[in-house]
Structure 1
C-alpha cells in the first residue's frame, strides 16, 4: 500500500534517530489510542467488549514516561469526519466489518489473526477520561484534526507524533515522529530513542520541489484520490523494491523532471499534475485538485453548533457525534465484534438514539407530548442557554423509561449504569435465564474478586470467572454495552442530569468504592491471562470495594 511503501522509504533512508527528552510534542490523539490499544503487551481484548482497565494502564504508563523525560504532550483528537472522504470511510468500514467477523469466529483460546484489529467501542471515551484525570492538555477538534495539529506544531515549534501518512506531506517545521518508531518503553537516563522524519530531507533526497509534495500525495493515493496508472510509473522505476515501492519511486522520479522554470508554487502544482495525468493517459479531474488543496490550504473545521456546545465538544465534555448529526445529518457508529448472523446489538439502543437525534435535529415534539418541555429543551440549541435540570432530567427519564427519583440511595458512580440496566432488562430476550443474566451483571457492579474486602461468595466468583457464556448471553451483554455508550452520550448532551460514570478503574485517596467494569471482560480468556501477566510485572491494581450491604 501507499502508506506502507512511503513508511519504508522514510524508515530506512530518510529518517534519523533522535533521543526524546526535554521537549514538547503535538500528538495525534486518535493515532495514539489506536496504537496503544493494538500494540499493548500483553494484548488487550478485542473480542469481548474491550479491556478498559488494561488500556488505562497502558495510557498512564505512556504519559508517565513522557513526564519522566520532561516531554510536554499536547493531544488533539478528531471531531466530525470530512464529508469529502465519505466514500473512503464507507470502504474502510466494510473492511473493518470483515475483520470483526473474523475475530468473532476465532476461538477464545486462539490469538486474534494478525492484522485483524477492531477497536472496542468505548476506547475513545476512556481515553478522554484519562486525559482529564491526568490533566493532560488536549483539545477535541470540530472536524479533522490534521490542520489543527500542523498549525499547533508549527506555532509551538514541536514535532508531530502520529501514524498518519499525511504528516509526511504537510510542512511540519520540526518534523514527524512515527509511533511505530517512538520507543517510549526503552527509556534510559531520562530519554528514549525515536526516528524523526523531515519533509525537507525527503525532497532533497528525491530532488523534488517541496511545492509538489501535495501533487505526489494526490496521485500516489490518499483519502481523496489515487491515480490508476496501470503500472506505468512502476515500470519506469530503477528501484529494486516491491511493486508499491517501485510505483512511488517512479512517480517521484517523474515529478522531479517536470520543467517548473519561472512558475510560482501554485502554477508548479498545476503543471506537475497535468503532466502526471497525461503520462498515465488520464483526463484532468477535480478530485485530484481537491486532494491537493487539502494539503496546501488546510481549513480548520467549523460547525453549525452553538458556541457553548462547540466549547463542550472541544474540552471533551460532549461526544463529537453531535457534529456528525447536526452538520452532516448522519452518524457512523463503531463496528462491533459480535454474531453477524443476528440483528446488530445497536438495535437495543434504538430508543435512546431516537432521543439523541431528536434533540439535535430539533424534532423533540415527536418524542414528547408536553409542549412546554419541548420548547424548554430546544432552547438549549436555539438560545444557547442551559435548560433547567428538572427538564433535562425529565428528558433523560423519558428516553430510558426510568424514574431517577428512585436512585437516591445509589452511589453516583452507579446511577447511570442502573438506569441503563433497567431499560436493557425490560427489553431483554434471553428466555428463562433473563434474571440470572441480570443478577450476574449487578453482582459485577459491586463485587471484585481481586479486592480483599469483597463480600460475594468466593465459590460464586470463581465459577463465574471461569464461565464461558452461551452466545445469546454474550449478545445480551453486548446489547447492554451499546445502551451504556448511547446513554452516556445522551447524558452529556443533556448537560449531565446524572453523574457521569468512569469506565476505567479509578484510584483515589481514599480508594474509590467502585470502578465500573464490564462483565464480559472477566469471561474472556485473553483478558484473564493478561491480568495475570500485568500482576506479575507489578502493573496490576487493587481497589477496595463496598460490601453489597452498603448498597
Structure 2
C-alpha cells in the first residue's frame, strides 16, 4: 500500500522519530523492502544485468549484524498479486516505469532497476541461513503489522502505511536503521546495538492535541492509499478549509492533521469528510463513497492475534483459517502450499493459480527487438500447463478450501471479499484455461494471452512429491532440450544452469554470438570456483593458481564498471539467458527439484560477462584468461562439451516459441512455416498480444 506524501512529511519533521539502540529483541522485517534497499544500497550493477555476489555479501552482513546484537529477525514477504485487484492499476504503472528505466539504463542514463534474479538470490540466502521467513498469498503489510502488534516488537520497512498502524514496538524506516554503523559493546559483545530512529503512533498524537490513534486510518484514506479514487481526494481538498500551520513540514498534511484533531471521533470526522466530498448530496448517493472510505480505514484495524505468530512457532500445519488465502490456492496439495509459504516456490505460482495473470519483469535490453522473455516462453507454457491443465480440478473457480479452514478469503473492510476468482482472474475460460502475460513490446506495456502446454506423460501436480525422481528429471530435461548423459560430467550445482544455457542456445533469437556463449560459460566457471573457495575443505582453496585466475577475472570485471559503453547485443542476449534461468528455476521447483537448485548468487555477474565478451571479441584467448592452474580450464571445457551434446528432445517435446512473430503481426496470426522447432496440436501455444 502506501499513503501519499506521509513519508515526506514525517521525515521533514524530526519530532516524530526518536533515537533507539536496538538489541536483544524480535524484529519483523518487510522482506520485499529489505532486498530492494540492500541491492540499491550496495552499489551493485544494474545496467549489465546485475551483480548478485555483491548483493549476497550485503545480505549476509546484514543478518550477521542482527545476530551480533541479539536481534531475532522474522522476514515476511509479498506474494502474488492481490486477488481483489485494488492495486492492479498501480502495478501496471510500475511496470511501465520499469520499462522506461530499463531503456534509460540501456542508453547510459542514470536510473534504477532491480535485476531479474534478485529475489531468487535473497530467498535462497535466507533459507541457507535459516532465517525465519513467510511468503504471503498477496501483499504482506497487514500480516507484518499484525505479527508485530501481537509481539509488541518493532517493524523494519519502507512503507508509509506503518505511520498509521498502532504498533507498540514502533516503525523503523530503513534509512534510519544504521546496521552498517553497529556499535560493538566494549565490555562484551552481548552489549552491541544498532542505532536507529523509531516512530510510534502515540508520539505523533502527543504533538497534536485531540488527535487519537483511531483517527489516523481516516487520515490515510483522505491523503490517498490504494482505496482512494483521485477525484474524491481532489474534491475534498478543493472544498475543505484547513487550519493554518506553523510552517513545519508539509502544510497540507499538517493542516489535515490539525483539522481532524478537532473531531471527537472518527465517525464524526468521516461524516464531515463525506459531506465535503459529495457536496451535501443525498445519503443514497453517498453510500459508494462511504464504502470506499470504510474499506480503506478497515485495512488498518489489526486483529488481536496474528496467524503468523503461530506459523513461526509451529510451522505450516498451525495456520488457521484467518490467513488471507483464496479458495483456489487453498485447494492445492500440501507440498505446493508449503513451498509457497516457506519461499521455496516463487510468487508466479500463486499468480497463475489465482489470477491466471503474470507480470514479466523488465530488463536492460535492446528495446527494438522482441522482449527477452520471448525466449523462455516455452518453459513458462509448461509451468502453466502443469498448474492449470494437469491440475484442473483443484484450479477450477469456486473450489472450496480443505482442512484448517484455509479456503476462506479474509476480505478486510468488505472490499474485494470473494472476488478473486471472478473479477480478478483474466483467463478463467471454462473450456481452455489460459494465462495473460504483461510484458514489453517496444517501449509499451502489452498483454498477451498464452495457452498452457502440458507434454505427454507429465506428472500430476497433486502427487508431484510422490513421483519417482527419474520421471520428474526426464520431464525437466525434455522441456530444457538436453539429454541426461550431457550432465554426468558436470558438478551438481551447474547442471541446471547448463540445461538453461543449452535451451537458450537453441531458442534465442537472434542466436548468441560465440563470444557471448564463451562469456556465459566462463562466468559459470568463475562463480563455481568462487563458491568452492568459500569451503575450507575444498581442494581449490589451497591452490594459488586458482586464486590467480579468479583475481584476473575479477579485475577484468572491475575495469568494466569504470568505463566502456553498453553493447545492446550482449545485454539482450544475457537478458534472454536470465529469463530462461528464472523460468527454469520455477519449473525445477514445481517438479519437486529433480536437479539441485544452483546457488544463484554465483551464477551471473553482468559486469564480468560484458568485460569477458569484449576481451574475447578483441582477440584475447580463453586460455589466456584461465592460465595458471588446470582446474579452471578443465571445468570450462566440461561446460563447453555439454553445449556440444545438446539437441532437440523430440518433435513433440515443446511448443514452438512464436512470441516475436506474433508481436509483429498481432492476434496470434502466423505465417506458413512459422512453427518454431517443436510441433504441437493446432491452436496450442498461440500467443495473442494486445496493447494496453
Question: Could you state the TM-score of these two structures normalised by the residue count of structure 1?
Answer: 0.82
5 Å-filtered alignment, 1:84-233, equals: 84-106=86-108, 112=110, 116-188=111-183, 189=185, 190-206=192-208, 207-226=210-229, 227-229=233-235, 231-232=237-238
Residue equivalent to 2:580:
483
Residues 288 and 391 of structure 1, relative CA distance in 2, 3 Å threshold: farther
* 1:367 alignment counterpart: 453
State the TM-score, normalizing by the size of structure 2.
0.66
User: Would the alpha carbon gap of residues 458 and 196 (structure 1) be closer, same or farther in structure 2, given more than 3 Å must change?
Assistant: closer
Show structure 2 runs of 5+ residues with no match: 186-191, 280-285, 304-321, 393-451, 534-543, 613-628, 639-692
Task: Determine the C-alpha separation between the residues in 2 that align with 1:19 and 1:345.
Answer: 46
Aligned-pair distance for 1:411?
A: 0.7
The answer to whether the aligner puts 1:300 opposite 2:320 as a matched pair is no
C-alpha distance in 1, partners of 2:67/2:238?
Answer: 49
The aligned counterpart of 1:263 is none
Alpha-carbon distance between aligned partners in 2 of 1:442 and 1:186, rounded to the nearest angstrom: 39
Q: Distance in 2 between matches of 1:281 and 1:497?
A: 60
Q: Which residue of 1 aligns with 2:244?
A: 238
Query: 1:495 pairs with 592, 595, 599, which one?
Result: 592
Q: Which of 412, 418, 435 is the aligned partner of 2:492?
A: 412
Q: Retained in 1: the 8 A contact 2:144–2:155?
A: yes
| 2:359 alignment partner, SS class | coil
1:358 aligns with 2:385: yes
CA distance in 2, matches of 1:181, 1:402: 50
| Cα displacement (A) at 1:315 | 1.8
SS at match of 2:375: helix
For the pair 1:517 / 2:517, whether they are aligned, the reply is no
Distance 1:66 1:56 in 2: 16
Go from structure 1 to structure 2 and tell me whether the alpha carbon gap of 1:23 and 1:463 turns closer, same or farther (over 3 Å shift). closer
Q: Secondary structure at the match of 1:92?
A: helix
Deviation at 1:149, TM superposition (A): 1.2
Match of 2:408 in 1: none
Structure 1 residue 413: Cα displacement: 1.0
> Are 1:426 and 2:529 counterparts?
no
Shift of 1:201: 1.8
Instruction: Give yes or no for contact 2:588–2:595 (8 Å, CA) kept in 1.
Output: yes
Q: Distance in 2 between matches of 1:524 and 1:89?
A: 34
Q: Is the Cα contact below 8 Å between 1:214 and 1:295 reproduced in 2? A: yes
Alpha-carbon separation, structure 2, partners of 1:20 and 1:462:
38
In the other structure, the counterpart of 1:279 is 276
CA spacing shift, 1:278–1:100, aligned 2, 3 Å: farther
Gap regions ≥5 residues in structure 1: 261-267, 505-514, 526-543
Q: Distance in 2 between matches of 1:289 and 1:545?
A: 69
Pick the aligned partner of 1:256 from 233, 258, 261.
261
1:398 maps to 478
Per-residue CA distance 1:12-64 (angstroms, 9 max, x = gap): 12111111122221111111111111122xx2111111111110111111111
Question: Which shifted more, 135-144 or 464-473?
Answer: 464-473
Cα offsets for 1:123-171 (capped at 9, x unmatched)? 1111111112222222222222122212221232211010111111112
How large is the RMSD of aligned CA atoms in angstroms? 3.1
Deviations 1:327-346 (A, max 9, x none): 11111122222232221111
Indicate conservation of the 8 Å contact 1:174/1:198, yes or no.
yes
What does residue range 41-120 of structure 1 map to in structure 2 within 5 Å?
43-82=43-82, 83-106=85-108, 112=110, 116-120=111-115
- Could you report, residue by residue, the CA deviation over 1:397-427 in whole angstroms, capped at 9, with x for unpaired residues? 2322222342111111110011111111112
CA contact (8 A) 1:25 1:72 kept: yes
Q: Check conservation: 1:214, 1:292, Cα contact below 8 A.
A: yes
Q: Which residue of 1 aligns with 2:672?
A: none
Shift in alpha-carbon separation, 1:290–1:340, aligned structure 2, 3 A? farther
Equivalent residue for 1:529? Answer: none
Change in Cα spacing, 1:311 to 1:483, as seen in structure 2 (3 Å) is same
**Cα separation, 2, equivalents of 1:134 and 1:230:** 50
2:569 to 469, 472, 482: 472
Aligned to 2:24: 22
Whole-angstrom distance in 1 between the partners of 2:201 and 2:554: 56
Q: What are the Cα deviations for residues 242-274 of structure 1, in whole angstroms up to 9, with x where unaligned?
A: 9x92222222222222343xxxxxxx34x4323
- CA deviations 1:345-389 (Å, max 9, x no partner) are 11111101101111111258973563xx24xx22x23x5753222
Cross-structure match for 1:388: 468
CA contact (8 A) 2:173 2:198 kept: yes
1:234 is displaced (CA, Å) by 8.3
